[in-house]
Chains A and B, each alone.
Chain A
Amino acid sequence: MITFSQQQLKTPRYLRPVYLVTAGQSKYARAIPEKRTEELCIDAFTMAAELLDLTPAELKKYIHTCYYGHFADHFGDQLLGEALIHDRLGLDPLGNVGIKSGGATGGSTLWEAAKAVASGYSDCALAMGWERMDEVPTDEGNFLIASAADRDWESPLGQIYTGYYAVMAQKYWQVFGKAEASFRRTLAEISVKHHGYARFNPFAHGPMKITVDDVLVSPVVADPLRALDCCLMSVGAACAVLCDEDTAVELTKNSRHKPLRVWVTAGSHTLRPADRRHMEIPLLPNETADQYKDLGKEFPGGDRYPGFTGFLAARMAAYYGYRMAGVVDPMEDFDVIELHDAFTISDVQTYEDIGLRPYGYGRDFVESGDCYHTNPHTGRPGRLPSNLSGGLIGCMHAVGASGIMQVFEIATQLWGRWSEIHGDEKRWKEFGREKPADWTDLQVEGAKRALSVSHAGVGSHVTATILMDPDHLLKKDA
Chain B
Amino acid sequence: MSSYGQVQVKGGRYRFRGDFHRLEQHMPIRDADHGWRLVGVTKPRDMTYVHSYGGEALFFESLSQGKLFATKCENPACEANGSIFQPFRIYCPDCLSRCTVIDMTELAKQTATIHTFMVCERSGAFNVLDKPIRFINIEFDGVSTILFSYLLMGEPQIGMRVAPVFKYYNPTYTILDLSWVPAGTKAEALPEGFLF
Binds A, one of B6-14, B17-25, B103-111, B145-153: B145-153
Does more than half of chain A's interface fall in helix, strand or loop, or is it mixed?
Answer: mixed
Does B144 contact A143, Cβ atoms closer than 8 Å? no
A163→B135 contact, CB < 8 A = yes
Contact assessment for B39 and A158 in the assembled complex, using a CB-CB cutoff below 8 Å: no
Pairwise interchain contact B124-A160, C-beta atoms closer than 8 A: yes
A168 to B80, CA, bound (A): 25
- Find chain A residues with CB under 8 A from B46 CB: none
Q: Which of A143, A219, A272 contacts B125 (CB 8 A)?
A: A143
The answer to whether A159 and B175 have CB atoms under 8 Å apart is: no
B125 touches A142 (CB 8 A): yes
User: Are A221's CB and B121's CB within 8 A?
Assistant: yes
A308 in contact with B119 (CB, 8 Å): no
Q: Is B127 an interface residue (CB 8 A)?
A: yes
Across the two chains, which residue of chain A brings its CB closest to B150? A157
Q: By the criterion CB–CB under 8 Å, are A166 and B118 in contact?
A: yes
Answer whether residue B40 sits at the interface, using C-beta atoms and an 8 A cutoff.
Answer: yes
Name A1-37 residues within 8 Å CB distance of B: 2-3, 33-34
* Bound CA span A168–B85, Å: 20
Known contacts A143-B125, A276-B146: A157-B158 contact under CB 8 Å: no
* A387 CB to nearest B CB, Å: 25
Select one of A34, A158, A168 contacting B133, CB under 8 A.
A158
Cβ 8 A contact of A166, one of B39, B83, B135, B149: B135
A274 within 8 A of partner (CB): yes
Candidates A143, A169, A272; contact of B124 at CB < 8 Å: A143
Stretch at the interface among A102-110, A148-156, A182-190: A148-156
Given A157-B129, A160-B127, are A274 and B137 also a contact pair (CB < 8 Å)? yes
Closest partner residue, chain B, to A156 (CB atom): B174
Picked from A152, A170, A220, A278, the residue with its CB within 8 Å of the CB of B174 is A152
List, in ascending order, chain B residues with CB within 8 A of A277's CB. 83, 144-145
A77 CB-CB contact with B under 8 Å: yes
Q: Which residues of B contact A219 (CB under 8 A)?
A: 121
Within 8 A of B (CB), among A160-213: 160-164, 166-171, 174
A222 and B119 within 8 A (CB)? yes
Q: How far is the CA of A275 from the CA of B56 in the complex (A)?
A: 15
B127 near A167 with CB under 8 A, answer no
Complex Cα distance, B124 from A139, in Å, reads 5
Interchain CA distance A171-B40 in the complex, whole Å: 45
By a CB distance below 8 angstroms, the chain A residues around B175 are 152-154, 156-157
Determine whether the beta carbon of B115 is less than 8 Å from that of A308: yes
Query: Cβ of A360: which chain B residues have Cβ within 8 Å of it?
Result: none
Question: Count of A residues near B, CB < 8 Å?
Answer: 48
Q: Is B31 an interface residue (CB 8 A)?
A: yes
Q: Tell me, in angstroms, the Cα distance from A142 to B131 when the chains sit together.
A: 15
In the bound assembly, the distance between CA atoms of A177 and B146 in angstroms comes to 21
Smallest CB separation, A221 vs chain B (Å): 6
Report the minimum CB–CB distance from A309 to chain B (whole Å).
9
Is there a chain A Cβ closer than 8 Å to B94's Cβ? yes
Cβ contact within 8 Å between A160 and B122: yes
Verify B53–A152 contact, CB threshold 8 A: yes
- Pick the contact of B94: A2, A170, A308 (CB < 8 A): A2
CB neighbors of B among A121-166 (8 A): 137, 139-146, 151-154, 156-164, 166
Cβ < 8 Å to A, chain B residues 18-61: 29, 31, 39-40, 43, 51, 53, 56, 60
Is A223 located at the chain interface by the 8 A CB criterion?
A: yes
Question: Is A301 located at the chain interface by the 8 A CB criterion?
Answer: yes
Chain B, residue nearest A36 (CB): B40
Shortest Cβ gap from B167 to chain A (Å):
12
Interface status of B87 (Cβ within 8 A of chain A): yes
Q: List 23 A-B contacts (CB under 8 A).
A: A2-B79, A140-B124, A140-B125, A141-B124, A151-B51, A152-B60, A153-B87, A153-B175, A157-B129, A157-B149, A158-B129, A159-B125, A160-B123, A164-B135, A167-B117, A167-B118, A167-B148, A170-B118, A171-B158, A221-B120, A275-B93, A276-B145, A308-B115
A contact residues vs B (CB 8 Å cutoff): 2-3, 33-34, 77, 137, 139-146, 151-154, 156-164, 166-171, 174, 219-223, 272-278, 301, 308
